[in-house]
């Protein structure tokens, strides 16, 4: 497959050479990103082309904008009923240009947990977004659970999965707090944020790379509360049942791609390892 490098002027256009790719993926959404990372992890040279939305529907027109619109609607509803709370007002107008804008997002928080099961490591996250001015009603913006058939002792598997999704949602530039249910994950996460060069495994190197694009990130222990209870309950439910929410993905290939591991070694490993599953 061949494509032409983009250039800014006609004079440089004549100097461009065709570039070789093994695979061209049309559409740059969540599904395409998983596919691109998986094939790239297997050593393929992959190009992703989107006609309009970098990152796909989720960050541009679906998950995030819809939560922002819901938040704006709540604010309007409170304002309309402000007299019930002793606040008088003389009419108001709604500027639709400000409704659903990503500018309303102030911070992101992830509740992350994982459990060992006979089927492998079950992990997941819940994402909460805070709006500007201290309002905390953009939550939960997203939720995801996966089953990784690996049985190795890798505390940061669920953390990486959560960080990848944060990047898909294009939230990496915001202030981010990771709340860990798992003590070992918290300890490794805090160590890697402070000293990225201590990363050992492919998954740890993947985490270190992802932390590297997040200028404001901190890790804390998840204490009992609404998000702790819900994440625990969902993990316990998925430990017992294989639900129809599960779809296949390959976290190991992604880790190798993002951590810069040797692709040939990875394809050798993949032949002996079963596929993994995720749910959204
Ligand atoms: C209102 C709404 C709210 C949602 N809220 C949530 C939520 O809170 N949490 C959650 O987990 N999920 C949520 N979802 C679901 C989530 O958005 C989707 O599951 C996810 O975006 C699907 O990813 P995808 O890669 O399959 O498709 P998409 O993300 O839609 O990606 C497809 C891409 O292909 C591109 N494309 C299409 N045709 C072509 C072409 N011919 N050439 C080039 N590019 C092309 C499109 O521009 C698009 O960018 C929500 C969806 C909606 C509609």
CA-angle at 167, arms to 254 and 171, nearest 5°: 165
CATH number at residue 135: 3.30.420.10
Give the pLDDT of residue 37: 78
Does residue 151 lie within any of the structural domains? yes
Does the structure show a pLDDT above 90 at 214? yes
Ligand 1 atom with least separation from CA of 27: 34
**Residue of the CA atom closest to atom 7 of ligand 1:** 63
Task: Identify the helix (H) or strand (E) that includes residue 189.
Answer: helix 183-194
Does the structure show a pLDDT above 50 at 263? no
Give the pLDDT of residue 171: 87
Give the pLDDT of residue 195: 94
Does residue 223 lie within any of the structural domains? yes
Give the pLDDT of residue 129: 82
Does residue 237 lie within any of the structural domains? yes
DSSP character string of 60-128: HTSHHHHHHHHHHHHHHHHHHTGGGGT---------GGGTT-GGGEEEEEEEEEEEEETTEEEEEEEEE
Does residue 256 lie within any of the structural domains? yes
**Residue of the CA atom closest to atom 30 of ligand 1:** 57
Structurally, how many domains does the chain consist of? 1
Give the pLDDT of residue 204: 92
Give the pLDDT of residue 211: 94
Helix, strand or coil, per DSSP, at residue 55:
coil
Ligand 1 atom with least separation from CA of 33: 25
280 Cβ below 6 A of ligand 1: yes
Does residue 94 lie within any of the structural domains? no
Cα(59) to centroid of ligand 1, in Å?
9
Domain that holds residue 254: 106-267
Cα(157) to centroid of ligand 1, in Å?
24
66 Cβ below 6 A of ligand 1: yes
- pLDDT tens per residue, range 46-90: 999 999 887 888 878 887 778 778 777 888 888 888 888 898 888
Report field, pTM of the whole predicted structure over 0.85: no
Does residue 209 lie within any of the structural domains? yes
pLDDT, the chain, mean = 79
Does residue 189 lie within any of the structural domains? yes
Does residue 84 lie within any of the structural domains? no
């Amino acid at each position: 497959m061949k494509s032409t490098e983009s250039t800014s002027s006609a004079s440089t256009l004549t100097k461009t050479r065709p570039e070789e790719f093994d695979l061209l993926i049309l559409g740059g959404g969540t599904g395409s990103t998983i596919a691109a990372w998986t094939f790239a992890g297997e050593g393929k040279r992959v190009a992703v082309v989107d006609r309009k939305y970098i990152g796909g529907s989720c960050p541009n027109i679906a998950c995030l904008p819809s939560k922002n619109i819901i938040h704006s609607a709540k604010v309007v509803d409170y304002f309309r009923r402000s007299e019930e709370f002793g606040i008088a007002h003389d009419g108001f107008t709604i500027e639709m240009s400000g409704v659903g804008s990503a500018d309303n997002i102030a911070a992101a928080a992830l509740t992350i947990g994982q459990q060992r099961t006979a089927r492998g490591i079950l992990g997941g996250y819940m994402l909460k977004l805070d709006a500007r001015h201290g309002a905390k009603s953009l939550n939960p913006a997203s939720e995801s659970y996966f089953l990784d058939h690996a049985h190795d002792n890798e505390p940061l598997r669920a953390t990486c999965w959560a960080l990848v999704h944060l990047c898909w949602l294009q939230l990496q530039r915001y202030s981010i707090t990771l709340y860990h249910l798992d003590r070992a994950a918290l300890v490794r996460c805090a160590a890697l944020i402070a000293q990225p060069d201590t990363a050992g495994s492919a998954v740890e190197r993947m985490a270190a790379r992802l932390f590297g694009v997040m200028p404001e990130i901190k890790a804390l222990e998840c204490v009992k509360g609404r998000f702790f209870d819900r994440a625990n309950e969902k993990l316990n439910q998925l430990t017992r049942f294989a639900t129809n929410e599960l779809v296949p993905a390959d976290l190991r290939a992604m880790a190798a791609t993002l951590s810069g591991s040797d692709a040939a070694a990875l394809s050798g490993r993949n032949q002996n390892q079963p596929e993994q599953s995720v749910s959204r």
